[in-house]
């Protein structure tokens, strides 16, 4: 066996320590198409708001649509946050150490931003 073959055999038999997060795979990855569809629907709502303003629609009717768009974005954000907790934070918990503290702090700050809006 050559040195190159031995090195290849050693690396192929070794368990991979890389996680999905290390590979750049995020918690929303499995629902990516669903999320994009949802965001396109929200984008349509925002374009609808522009049309309502352009057509001089009554203020309260526009505000009703703003509320619906805001709720749609908040719902999307909560879904994304849940996926982050299940995937990224859970992955950090498995690794332990400082990484879990960093991920919990990061998630806490994200929740605080959502609550301010």
Residue 40's pLDDT is what? 97
Reported as a single tens digit per residue, the pLDDT across 16-54 is: 455 555 556 666 767 889 999 999 999 999 999 999 999
- Kindly report the pTM of this predicted structure: 0.69
Per the domain annotation, does 3 fall within a domain?
no
Per the domain annotation, does 102 fall within a domain?
yes
Which residues are CB-contacts of 26 (< 8 A; sequence separation ≥ 6)? 20, 83, 84, 87, 88
Per the domain annotation, does 16 fall within a domain?
no
Provide the domain count of the chain.
1
pLDDT band at 96 (very low <50, low <70, confident <90, very high): confident
As a dihedral over the C-alpha atoms of residue 38, residue 41, residue 43, residue 45, rounded to 10 degrees, the angle is -130
Residue 52's pLDDT is what? 97
Q: Decide: helix, strand or coil at residue 67.
A: helix
Say which CATH number the domain at 100 has.
1.20.58.1000
Range of the domain at 84: 28-116
Q: Which residue has the higher pLDDT, 79 or 117?
A: 79
Per the domain annotation, does 15 fall within a domain?
no
Kindly give the residue spans of alpha helices, DSSP state H, lying in 1-117. Answer: 3-13, 32-54, 59-84, 90-95, 98-116
Per the domain annotation, does 18 fall within a domain?
no
Residue 82's pLDDT is what? 92
Angular region, 115: left φ>0, alpha ψ -120 to 50, beta rest:
alpha
């Amino acid at each position: 066996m050559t040195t190159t073959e031995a090195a290849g055999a050693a690396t192929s038999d070794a368990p991979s320590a890389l996680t999905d997060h290390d590979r750049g795979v995020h918690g929303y990855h499995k629902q990516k198409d669903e999320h994009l569809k949802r965001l396109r629907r929200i984008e349509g709502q925002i374009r609808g708001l522009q049309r309502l303003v352009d057509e001089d629609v009554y203020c309260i009717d526009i505000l009703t649509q703003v509320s619906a768009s805001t709720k749609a974005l908040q719902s999307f954000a909560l879904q994304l946050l849940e996926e982050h907790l299940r995937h990224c934070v859970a992955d950090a918990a498995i690794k332990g150490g400082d990484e879990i503290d960093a991920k919990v702090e990061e998630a806490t700050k994200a929740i605080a931003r959502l609550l301010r809006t």
